[in-house]
Structure 1
Amino acid sequence: MSRINYDSMSDIELKQYFLKHRGDEAAFQAYLDRINQRPRRIVASPNDPDFDDKVQAAIRQKLEAAKSSGQQANTALETTDQE
């Protein structure tokens, strides 16, 4: 049996692989290690008087980024389909 190189997978590929192979503990650990290596962005501290506004703004920003990356992926697929 060949050993799988999780490091060569993109974040999305590793996540998809883990979801398909839930019994693969090494894949799960590799996924957790990768996520834990990401820097954490602090939006606001609990004592911040603008806490709610800052959290809502961060959520909106994340949703817009996800929406635009989804639109870019759809555009790329449409371009590929036309070729």
Structure 2
Amino acid sequence: MSQTDYDAMSDAELKQYFLKHRGDKAAFQAYLDRINQRPRRIIASPDDPDFDEKVQTAIRQKLEAAKSGRSQQPPHDALEPTD
């Protein structure tokens, strides 16, 4: 059996691969390792007086980006990826 090269796959390809091959624990781990290496964007701290507004704005931006098919930020941030 040949070894699958997860590094050669894009994020989307790797995600699709492990969704189709749910028993492939190495593929799932490769995907988790990849997304955990990304920097996280902090939206607001819990004591921020504008916490609710900032979170709601980030959610709206994420939804608008998904509707238009583009991403305004890396997929791994404080609001977990939607892909």
| TM-score, structure 1 as length reference | 0.81
SS at match of 1:22: coil
Identical positions, percent: 83
Moved over 4 A (4+): none
Instruction: Answer 1 or 2: which has greater helix percent.
Output: 1
Tell me the matched-pair count: 70
The Cα shift of 1:20 comes to: 0.7
Note the residue ranges of structure 1 that are not aligned, 5 or more in a row.
71-83
Q: What is the RMSD of the two structures over their aligned residues, measured on CA atoms?
A: 1.0
Instruction: For 1:20, give the aligned amino acid.
Output: K
Q: 2:13, 2:67 → 1: CA distance?
A: 20
Note the residue ranges of structure 2 that are not aligned, 5 or more in a row.
71-83
Q: 2:26, 2:52 → 1: CA distance?
A: 38
| TM-score, structure 2 as length reference | 0.81
- Structure number with greater Rg is 1
